[in-house]
Amino acid sequence: MVALAAGCVLAAVGAAEYLYYQQHAGVFAEPKTAVEPKAPKAATDPELKTLLDSVKARRAATKAKADAAKKAMDDVWRYMDWLTEEEAAAVLHQNQKYWRNAHSTGMDIYTDQVASNPRIEEYATWMPLGVGTEKPGHPTRIMFGLFDGHNGHQCAEQLALRLGPKLDELLKNSGSAKDAVPAALTEAFTRMDHELVYEAAEKYRSARSESNIDKLLAPGLAGSCGVVAVVDTEAREVTVANVGDSRAVLGMRLPDGRWRAVPLSVDQTPRNPLEAERVRAEHPGEPRVLKHGRVVGTLMPTRVFGGSRYKWPVDLQGELFPDMATRGYALAKIPMNYITPPYVTAKPDVITHRLGADDKFIVLATDGIFDELTNDEVVNIVGEWYDAKTGKVPSKAAGAMTGPKEGNVAAQLIRAALCKFPHNPEYTSAWIRELSRPAPHSRRFWDDMTAVVVMLDQDSTQLPRALP
């Protein structure tokens, strides 16, 4: 992958790596004006490597014992070789990153992620928009994206690399229309999905090969949720587009010092009555369109990128799935109850929020975190960390923590989610136990977790210049 100075992708492959991308030949083209990135290099500390090697050995030993005993996955803890606190901390911290005053916008960005799957399927990305059309080095818009893949990493990976540049190009061509950002987000989402699902299939049909199965068809067969936020520092607003069940939530400080969670997205699953009603209305006469709380009985989100097995016509699946099956793609088969595709869409819900002086931060996180924490709990955890770091009076809201325990607030959030905080009385040790679980057994207890926290206001200048 070539480096691009205009943004960053947290590519989740084992130990995550940060990639900067360039565009060329219509796929990845170099921007006319490059902006020097302010991203730290991946940690190469020998002590960290030693700890992570020890983690790998302990997890392998636990997995071997559990597999040999042929016990149910829920009994893995009986065979678990617990990590030490230092080893668990190494896992929690190995992917954390921090950018101060990103691209001179006044925003500080914190990210972190931990894997539960053998290969994590989540990607986070951010990039300035409009570079080359504004004062060099000082963009007024920054995009933050979070993509949670399922049935493989390929779809989320493509979204992280390609959706931002597509959005940037659309905005450059939109002029100064008032609804430019919501319209561009909607078009970027739907265009990207069409490329992954339909255009890639046509390209494969004209050039069939095993390598093209992986390159062209795999991203479309896999799927991904996606939440993207565009912060406009000049217009003082944030616009969020969402497909699936990752979330964006804003932290607002109230006059009495407490924190309020302002949802910037709504989950799109059958648990959402409006989504369930929409899906049923689009497929009348199909009583099993939502079965066991899932689309045609198998897919939880009602809107996704990719997911060609829920979108392709039956004849196209019948033509291409045998090729994919021989290549080892187990999900290359027509779902049950499949009558009138497509059953899911990548058209997003879009919410715009006018930013005020009391709006302090935005959190983007995958469902692995929101499976364990509510919006209010997430905002209280980040808010208390913010209070302690800026010297403000700590919030006494229910669910608040007793001071920050992590230098990176995204790591703090993941640690709390691993502990099922504040519902778990064993908060001090639960996160160590959860990180001791080896994949794939850990997947029965918790999902991959990725968090992006964006500090918005001038108070962030009081935050430390380096992680303690």
Q: What is the pLDDT of residues 122-166, one digit of tens each?
A: 999 999 998 755 555 578 899 999 999 999 999 999 999 999 999
| Residue 468 covered by a domain | no
Q: Which residues contact 37 (CB under 8 A, 6 or more apart)?
A: 5, 6, 7, 8, 20
Binning pLDDT at 50, 70 and 90, where does residue 463 land?
very low
Do 356 and 334 share a structural domain? no
Q: What is the pLDDT of residue 212?
A: 94
pLDDT at 15: 26
pLDDT (0 to 100) of residue 430: 86
416 phi-psi bin (left φ>0, alpha ψ -120 to 50, beta other)? alpha
How high is the pLDDT of residue 55? 92
pLDDT digits (tens, 9 = 90+) for 178-227: 789 999 999 999 999 999 999 999 999 999 999 999 999 999 999 999 99
Residues 235 and 174 in one domain: yes
Mean pLDDT (whole number) for 339-362? 97
pLDDT tops 50 at residue 95 = yes
Give the residue-averaged pLDDT of 271-279.
Answer: 97
Q: Within a domain: residue 318? A: yes
Q: Is residue 436 part of a domain?
A: yes
pTM for the full model?
0.87
User: What is the token pair recorded at 253?
Assistant: 């400080």
- Is the domain of 282 the same as that of 196? no
377 and 323 in a common domain: no
How much is the pLDDT for 379? 97
Same domain, 253 and 277: no
Number of domains in the chain: 2
pLDDT at 388: 87
Q: What CATH number has the domain bearing residue 154?
A: 3.60.40.10
Number of Cβ within 10 Å of residue 123's Cβ equals 29
pLDDT at 36 over 50: no
Q: Give the tokens for residue 115.
A: 């894997």
Q: For residue 408, is pLDDT > 60?
A: yes
Q: Which residues pair with 112 in a beta bridge?
A: 451
Mean pLDDT (whole number) for 22-36: 27
How do beta strands 223-232 and 108-114 pair?
A: unpaired
% of the chain with per-residue pLDDT over 70:
79
Confirm whether 95 is domain-assigned.
yes
In this structure, the answer to whether residues 331 and 355 fall within a common structural domain is no
pLDDT tens track for 164-183: 999 999 999 886 677 899 99
Asked if residue 131 and residue 81 are part of one domain, the reply reads yes
Q: Which residue has the tokens 């990845």?
A: 28
pLDDT at 373 over 80: yes
My answer on whether 312 and 362 are in the same domain is: no
Per-residue pLDDT at 32 exceeds 70:
no
The answer to whether residue 467 is domain-embedded is: no
Task: Tell me, yes or no, whether 264 and 389 share the same domain.
Answer: yes
The pLDDT, as a whole number, for residue 401 is 55
Domain containing residue 206: 8-268+347-462
| d(C-alpha 341, C-alpha 42), whole Å | 43
| End residue of a domain, out of 343, 368, 403 | 343
Burial of 203 (0-12, 13-18, 19+ CB in 10 A): middle
